Structure 1
């Protein structure tokens, strides 16, 4: 209500200026200056009240009516322009669900013209499952708002569309429910594309696993029959293992498609990092691995966060050409205690620029190339955790990758 009153006050002030009522303007400016330190809601209400008083005292009745009418018309025209040009469907329904407002976006998405749906029940006109919309209306009556709920609606031609809905209740000044506003976006194409990619991904992973199992079996037989060729067979076996790992990474990436808050969980980072570092020490006995971690370090992150750290830690060892690879891991908490930063430093040759861009770029582009999916996965996991990554030179002479995550607030 304050926003609407604020807009009306601003429009009234501009009209007074246009019509040359400077005396009335000055009276309002004095009110504003005297109340400038007040709460915004109180200031807006005081200005609106003063507006009505000034208009009544300084302007004749007919002109007062003209000014108020012109102000309301301008606001309505502005609102109508926004509604009609919006690329989404905007519906206003009454307390029984009857359609009162149907914008051009709704017509483009669902095929029905305004005259065909006006006053008809929204649940029966559009919904594939009318009881779902009835439940939405019930929630609005209870004072709830709907935020990005996915469901299905029916086009005029009978096609089923995937949609995402936002909605808010409309109340009178006495807080009586009179209906609701629905904003609906068509997500059919991205939804179908997502489903097709998921199916393709699963089919490819299934076929890759089957083919690699067969190749592994033949390689074992070749190794027994031609022991002198074991080095070549080992190289082929390593490459096959890389393909298997690539398939696993693709599965993890698929899990990141839906950026839902439910995928984020509480993770005890100290425990997680110590487990990962112990694994690294067992697999890389020539490396010097140190850490400075507190006993308890809890963050809110995506459930795939362990894979992000695995990729950074493995990269620090695998691409390190030093005689004694060194990795140092430490954590810090910012002054507000709202975020935790984990830094992973090494003494290797440094991450190539193309790989750095994969980790730190704010946008994704086909021109950015990486030698594998691991760094992409790391970046997506951290972003899905509402975190960030920075890359800079480490004190050890190599690279330091810092991952910033949300700390759990107790």
Structure 2
């Protein structure tokens, strides 16, 4: 600030008066000898008369009085500039404000003074506290996750993580900071991890399964999902979740083991039964032949249940990529082939030229299962089946209607209410379960309704 001895007092006062920053002049005792309008606003005073002649210590809170005294000595007596120094002041109305004070020595009307420029940082500190509270909330929420959360920099380095990463890996934060990402995995999986990270940066997202090796040497199968982080048009990293899939892997392994057991033992035993039935029916009486036919039908039913079970196991344990499917072309082929296989049935269609959806490859098998079910479970000699499709891009609605007996609720209610399943309330087979999973994996929904007069309407809603 200019030395007032070398400038007109009026000019000097005008300079500090118009400054938007609070500027205060005080003597060696701390008595205020001048202050601009911004000081009055900061302190909540009505006029300069309420300010001049008062001590700076009247406005500084007790906890900061000693600091203010030391700075007063430095700036007036020792001619040493200080600050910016954090302090708190109390306004005339009692409100506490947080400030930063920078002081410098000066001369005013022939005497040594101190000059203070004050910055009110109250709102800034409040905003900072709110941001810190929000940051801590987010961090607490992330730490509450049982899954591992992580952020990867564009350079492929681990930048942030939650407590679950430390809990799972057994490493502390300092050790994690010094590690490469590949160090957390078995050596045979490091390449797939690097490729997955590169894919996520290039394409926006990726999912990979890999085996984590803990500090203690334990190996744990994990699934890692990650998405690209952007700030405007700039890619700033990847954010992802890692989930322990040990239990899922164990369930899949058990399902496959049961499937192989049934495939080997059940199918072989049923084939023996069917072969024996053929021998018995050739030489039996009419009554015996009838019994043999029932045994053969039961064996065929068991084989059908097993075949659908095998398809469901494959659905649930093998990745099911989606593909583009024209459901109109698929339904036209199904209607034609079922018409040939079931000549007594009348199959009518109401289809647009084309209706494309994104679905798993088993969706076409599921559509066939619905049409065949409608025919096979119909007690009429000449079943009537109607297939129609509504296409309102991107939504496709498929309906298969029949005039057969109502589908029992227990065949489909357990799809959405698994608590209903028990030893007495369950489906008679796996056909509709197979349809349900194919539709679900294709991003659609499955609905069952009664026909207006008779029969059923099964609706698949895909969008």
Shorter-chain TM-score tier: 0.7 to 0.9
Largest Rg, 1 or 2: 2
**Alpha-carbon offset, residue 171 of structure 1:** 7.9
Question: Given that residues 270 and 294 in structure 1 are in contact (C-alpha distance below 8 angstroms), is that contact kept between their aligned partners in structure 2?
Answer: yes
Question: Given that residues 199 and 206 in structure 2 are in contact (C-alpha distance below 8 angstroms), is that contact kept between their aligned partners in structure 1?
Answer: no
Larger relative contact order (Cα-Cα within 8 Å, sequence gap ≥ 6): 1
**Alpha-carbon offset, residue 399 of structure 1:** 1.5
Look up the match of 2:416.
Answer: 362
Counterpart-to-counterpart distance in 2, 1:137 and 1:401: 43
**1:202 is the counterpart of 2:260:** yes
Q: Please, which of 215, 229, 234 is the counterpart of residue 156 of structure 1?
A: 215
Q: Please, which of 337, 342, 351 is the counterpart of residue 407 of structure 2?
A: 351
**Long gaps (5+) in structure 1:** 1-20, 22-54
**Alpha-carbon offset, residue 197 of structure 1:** 1.1
**Alpha-carbon offset, residue 71 of structure 1:** 2.9
Look up the match of 2:442.
Answer: 385
**Alpha-carbon offset, residue 391 of structure 1:** 2.2
Change (3 A) 1:256 1:172: closer
Q: Please, which of 127, 130, 133 is the counterpart of residue 190 of structure 2?
A: 130
Counterpart-to-counterpart distance in 2, 1:180 and 1:319: 52
Look up the match of 1:80.
Answer: 139
**Alpha-carbon offset, residue 323 of structure 1:** 5.2
Look up the match of 1:402.
Answer: 459
Question: Given that residues 168 and 181 in structure 1 are in contact (C-alpha distance below 8 angstroms), is that contact kept between their aligned partners in structure 2?
Answer: yes
Aligned length: 345
Counterpart-to-counterpart distance in 2, 1:150 and 1:205: 28
Counterpart-to-counterpart distance in 2, 1:386 and 1:149: 21
Look up the match of 1:106.
Answer: 165
Look up the match of 2:274.
Answer: 216
Change (3 A) 1:95 1:254: same
Cα deviation code 1:302-339 (max 9, x no counterpart): 211233223322332333334543222222223xx222
CA RMSD of aligned residues (A): 3.4
**Alpha-carbon offset, residue 253 of structure 1:** 0.5
Counterpart-to-counterpart distance in 2, 1:187 and 1:67: 43
Cα deviation code 1:117-164 (max 9, x no counterpart): 332223224454334444455556x56544332222112232221112
Question: Given that residues 252 and 317 in structure 2 are in contact (C-alpha distance below 8 angstroms), is that contact kept between their aligned partners in structure 1?
Answer: no
Counterpart-to-counterpart distance in 1, 2:432 and 2:184: 47
**1:285 is the counterpart of 2:339:** no
**TM-score, reference length from structure 1:** 0.72
**Long gaps (5+) in structure 2:** 1-41, 43-98, 101-117
**Alpha-carbon offset, residue 392 of structure 1:** 2.2
Counterpart-to-counterpart distance in 2, 1:211 and 1:328: 39
Question: Given that residues 325 and 359 in structure 2 are in contact (C-alpha distance below 8 angstroms), is that contact kept between their aligned partners in structure 1?
Answer: yes
Look up the match of 1:35.
Answer: none
Question: Given that residues 97 and 123 in structure 1 are in contact (C-alpha distance below 8 angstroms), is that contact kept between their aligned partners in structure 2?
Answer: no
Which shifted more, 238-247 or 164-173? Answer: 164-173
State how 1:174-189 maps to structure 2 within 5 Å: 181-189=239-247
Look up the match of 2:375.
Answer: 317
Question: Given that residues 345 and 395 in structure 1 are in contact (C-alpha distance below 8 angstroms), is that contact kept between their aligned partners in structure 2?
Answer: no
**1:338 is the counterpart of 2:394:** yes
Q: Please, which of 277, 300, 306 is the counterpart of residue 247 of structure 1?
A: 306
**Alpha-carbon offset, residue 99 of structure 1:** 4.8
Question: Given that residues 206 and 225 in structure 2 are in contact (C-alpha distance below 8 angstroms), is that contact kept between their aligned partners in structure 1?
Answer: yes
Cα deviation code 1:76-124 (max 9, x no counterpart): 2223212322211234456665655443211332233334433222322
Change (3 A) 1:86 1:214: same
Change (3 A) 1:152 1:145: farther
Counterpart-to-counterpart distance in 1, 2:341 and 2:371: 12
The structure in which a higher percent of residues are strand is 2
Counterpart-to-counterpart distance in 2, 1:254 and 1:382: 15
Counterpart-to-counterpart distance in 2, 1:121 and 1:154: 13
SS of aligned partner of 2:389: strand
**1:327 is the counterpart of 2:381:** no
Change (3 A) 1:92 1:274: closer
